[in-house]
Amino acid sequence: MEEEIVIASSSIDGGIGCWDLQTGTEHLRYKSCASPPHGLISVGRRFLASSQLQDPKASSGAILYWSWSRPQVEVKCFPEEPIKPLVANSEGTYLVGGGLSGNIYFWEVATGRLLKKWRAHYRAVTCLVFTEDDSLLVSGSEDGSVRVWPLLMYALLASQLYEHSFQEHTLRVTDIVTGYGGGNAIIISASEDRTCKVDVIFVENNYLSNCYF
């Protein structure tokens, strides 16, 4: 049976904890981490990546990488602006980051090459998540919007990148989850406006169904 691991970061002690889900035993503790919300991820189950944002007003930031077996930072990279949320596709071939400016950055993990950068929101990106089949990227922002981006390369080269845009929230989007269905996904978003929105996408008919509470 595969070992199941839980990882969590804390803004209080500035570290990352790694525990066995079955026994509760702590495997490793990674120190010197200043990860913002949604800034800590596992990349293809091969290593950890975390954006670093100690000062929200800073003009620069970093992304740190750790192996599962060592608590020391293995690799550091420095994007052109501070990155808040990070997400990787299920195979760990691509890494996506959301910037304070509202830009989204799309990197190739094997080479570290920036494949695409685009203006996604009017304010900082707060959440990023892939759909189950990795065909769509969903982003949320401080401007209250939620947008859906197709990840086919031809779509990334188009003038209007997003496939759907939801503007129902009046304050910052704090979290996004997607249900099963791949391109026909259920998207649930939460916000500081104390509402939760459920959007259902039917790609074949380009149809949207909304439920708010």
Tell me the pLDDT tens digit for each residue of 169-179: 999 999 999 97
Is 62 among the domain residues?
yes
pLDDT value of residue 26: 82
pTM of the model: 0.85
Is 193 among the domain residues?
no
Q: What domain range is 48 assigned to? A: 5-173
pLDDT value of residue 126: 97
| 109 contacts 88 by C-beta, under 8 angstroms | yes
pLDDT value of residue 204: 54
The whole-number average pLDDT for the span 57-69 is 80
Is 213 among the domain residues?
no
| 141 contacts 173 by C-beta, under 8 angstroms | yes
Output 20 or 208, whichever has higher pLDDT: 20
Question: How far, in Å, CA of 197 to CA of 175, rounded?
Answer: 11
* Phi, psi dihedrals of residue 128, rounded to the nearest 5°: -140, 135
pLDDT-derived band at 181 (thresholds 50, 70, 90) equals low
Output 88 or 14, whichever has higher pLDDT: 88
Is 31 among the domain residues?
yes
Contacts of 12 (CB under 8 A, 6+ apart): none
Number of domains the chain contains? 1
pLDDT value of residue 8: 79
pLDDT of residue 212 exceeding 60, the answer is no
pLDDT value of residue 53: 78
Strand order in the sheet with 164-166: 125-130, 136-141, 146-150, 164-166
Percent of the chain exceeding pLDDT 90 equals 40
pLDDT of residue 9 exceeding 80, the answer is no
The whole-number average pLDDT for the span 170-189 is 86
- What are the distances in angstroms from CA 142 to CA 98, 175, 184, 190? 11, 11, 25, 12
The pLDDT tens digits of the residues spanning 42-62 come to 898 888 899 987 666 666 788
Is 151 among the domain residues?
yes
For the chain, the average pLDDT equals 83
pLDDT of residue 203 exceeding 70, the answer is no
* Phi, psi dihedrals of residue 151, rounded to the nearest 5°: -105, 10
Is 192 among the domain residues?
no
Is 137 among the domain residues?
yes
CATH number at residue 167: 2.130.10.10
pLDDT-derived band at 167 (thresholds 50, 70, 90) equals confident
Q: Is the dihedral of CA 84, 90, 91, 94 positive or negative?
A: negative
